[in-house]
Structure 1
Amino acid sequence: MPASILDAMAGDEAMPLDPIAKKYWTKDLQNPLRRIVLPTLKIILTITLHITYYLKRLSPIQWRAHGFLQWQICFFMKWFVRPEANVLILRHFWAESNLLNFVIDNAGQDEVDPVLIHPKMIRDLMVQTFVHHDQGVLMTMRDLTEPDRSRWPVPKDELSWENWKPVRLDYGVDRKKWTQFLDFETAHELFKTTFCFWLTAPEYEAAINSFQFDHSIGLLIDEIVGASHFADIAYNRFPMILVGPTGLSYRFLMHGFFVEHTHGHLERIRVELGLEN
């Protein structure tokens, strides 16, 4: 019997993914909006994003409204984005915080603050914002200037998980509003220009270039655990090269999957050690 692409995704265990994340992502992929609406939106909204991006860079007056931006995001998620996609968004904050904290905990630098961004529900994003999330990456890379590599690779039973937090959300998919019809990718397309508009040009440039540090984080984790594949998973690479909004949607997705796949690999190690996930 021929297999569908979704069948193959469900059976692929080479790149580990949390079962809940895989289930919700494959369900999200079946949204009929993706067939016609999403490709059309990508064309139109990529044009509006580039126009907004260049106008913001050229403008001598820089404006921002972080609070209003977060309110818009939360309202949009609550009323229009499918619950499965919302779970994936909330999970991402936890998973990336765990990756950064894993590096910090095993770097031998006690003065580096852990990343404490763990939203349990949509309204938590009013405080633990997307801007804070991006800054978590940038501040970690800034402060982690000279990690202690003398112990790397660290034996599995000596790895530090001090600031690792198993993902625990207070948001479920069982109470769906009839207006919640947007899948993850369509929602991102609809909001990417708004995100650019309500940040200053330097803030937005920092946000979209924070993805490039996936490569650096992957290399650090490889060194810590004595592996050679985490950096290979990273699509966004070489952070010394600044990028603009071209190809943003794909880079955004690949950042999310780098985080989830790497998080899944480390969860496997935790299972081997008898730790809770």
Structure 2
Amino acid sequence: MLHKSEYFENMKNDPRDPSHWHTLYLDKSIPFSADAKAAFLYDSGRKSRQFLLPFVRVMSRFFIILMQLFKAISPNLINAPKLLHKSLYLGMKYMVSPEANYLILRHFYLGSEILKFIKDNVKGAGEIPMNPLKPLSVNEVKDDLFLEHDLNLYNFIINLNAAIAEKGLKVEKVDRPDFSALTEGEIPFEDFRDKWSNFMDLSTAIEIFTPVYQFFLTDNDFWRASNSLQLDEVIGIYATTIMDCPEKLIGLNNKHPMIPLPTYGAAFRLTLHGLSTEILHALLVDAKKKMTQDPVAV
């Protein structure tokens, strides 16, 4: 199990040369799991992010634009989700850092828990179908994990709002929310490969994965996946309405889903999507701990 929090907690500050990542780790203004935050910041300090990412980002966006032209002519010529996920699996296992893989798998796990939390706290929503994704190893990526994650988000919102329209359900403040869907402690992931080839940080990996995602899927599938990132605002509003803390949406950056953004920026927005999920989950976990410690409080 990764414990990069110890790395930052034991770091000594040099007043003449303070660490950017150490500073952000110590700052507690935004809710965030300590282990996940440490993993993200440690990973962000890798040389690949500083020296490789700028070049990869330019090439990645150029390739996405070229592929967009190709997909405009032949939108459905290539549709190989199994080959896509095989490629993603190989990249994650042999090239991506253990911290980045930890954060990627956490994202699917936490996303499923947040959707379940919303469902549990909308009275009468018990019949809404769910497809929880809780991978514990990189091997599970091969089961169309990324594609299923996108579909889950859309289908949840569609099914929830269909139930709201048909049954008169409401997403509203809950005085004592049901937090049973949320994991407080460590998630029992299998050990991540950590060899010399696992050098690539999360942001660089996402920049490379995004055009690969576009190449192997139909134009509609990639367009849908890119637009799904802005649904962070929708999910955030549902959760903060239940918690009655709309001001907490300040930590969310993927907004305005009715105004789709160009696909060439999808990789950066995907990184923001991961951060938004971590922040929202941490907010809910903090509330769960508070209610456990003080049964009268929410």
Is the counterpart of residue 140 in structure 1 residue 156 in structure 2? yes
How many residue pairs were aligned?
Answer: 271
Number of the residue aligned with 2:128:
112
Which region of structure 1 is more displaced relative to structure 2, 186-195 or 225-234?
A: 225-234
What amino acid is aligned across from residue 153 of structure 1 in structure 2?
Answer: K
Q: Deviations over 1:191-234 (max 9, x none)?
A: 21111011111111111111111111111111101112343322
Instruction: Report what 1:194 is aligned to.
Output: 212
Tell me if 1:62 matches 2:80: no
Amino acid at match of 1:13: K
Instruction: State the alpha-carbon separation in 1 of the partners of residues 252 and 258 from structure 2.
Output: 15
Q: Determine the structure 1 residue equivalent to 2:229.
A: 211
The aligned residue for residue 154 of structure 1 is 174
> Counterpart in 1 of 2:189?
170
Task: Find the counterpart in structure 1 of residue 58 from structure 2.
Answer: 43
Q: Distance in 2 between matches of 1:189 and 1:60?
A: 22
TM-score normalized by the length of structure 1: 0.91
Question: In structure 2, which of residues 91, 97, 101 is the aligned counterpart of residue 76 of structure 1?
Answer: 91
- Kindly indicate whether the alpha-carbon contact (under 8 Å) linking 2:232 and 2:273 is maintained by their aligned counterparts in 1: yes
Contact kept? 2:85, 2:144, Cα under 8 Å: no
TM superposition score normalised by structure 2: 0.85
Which deviations, in whole Å up to 9, do the C-alpha atoms of 1:118-141 show, x marking residues without a partner? Answer: 000001122251000011110011
| C-alpha distance in 2 between matches for 1:74 and 1:29 | 21
2:107·2:277 contact (CA, 8 Å) conserved in 1? yes
Q: Structure 1 residue 54: deviation in Å?
A: 2.9
Quick one: distance in 1 between partners of 2:60 and 2:116? 35
The match for 2:271 is: 253
C-alpha spacing 1:144/1:228, structure 2 compared with 1 (3 Å): same
Give the equivalent residue in structure 1 for 2:111.
96
CA contact (8 A) 2:183 2:285 kept: no
In the alignment, structure 2 segments of 5+ residues that lack a partner are 1-14, 294-298
Question: Which residue in 1 is equivalent to 2:138?
Answer: 122
Give aligned-pair identity as a percent.
Answer: 26
**Cα distance in 1 between the residues matched to 2:75 and 2:169:** 43
Does the aligned pair in 1 maintain the 2:71–2:219 contact within 8 Å?
yes
Aligned match of 1:21 = 36
Unaligned runs of 5+ in 1: none
Structure 1 residues 60 and 66: alpha-carbon distance in aligned structure 2, compared to 1, 3 A threshold: closer
Q: Against the structure 1 CA distance between its residues 25 and 9, is the aligned structure 2 distance closer, same or farther, given a 3 Å change threshold?
A: same
In the alignment, what sits opposite 1:131?
147
Q: Distance in 2 between matches of 1:142 and 1:210?
A: 13
Runs of 4+, deviation exceeding 4 Å:
none
Go from structure 1 to structure 2 and tell me whether the alpha carbon gap of 1:162 and 1:22 turns closer, same or farther (over 3 Å shift): closer
Deviation of 1:165 after TM superposition, in Å, equals 4.5
How far the C-alpha of 1:253 sits from its partner, in A, is 1.2
Paired AA for residue 61 in structure 2:
T
Deviation readout 1:8-28 (Å, 9 max, x if unpaired): 201111111111111111111
| Contact 1:216-1:231 within 8 A present in 2 as well | no
SS of residue matched to 1:204 = helix
Give the deviation of 1:80 after TM superposition: 0.7
* Counterpart Cα distance in 2 of 1:19 and 1:230: 19
Contact 2:89 2:142 in 1 (8 A): yes
**How far does residue 162 in structure 1 lie from its aligned partner after superposition?**
4.5
Judge conservation of contact 1:107–1:148 (CA < 8 Å) in 2: yes
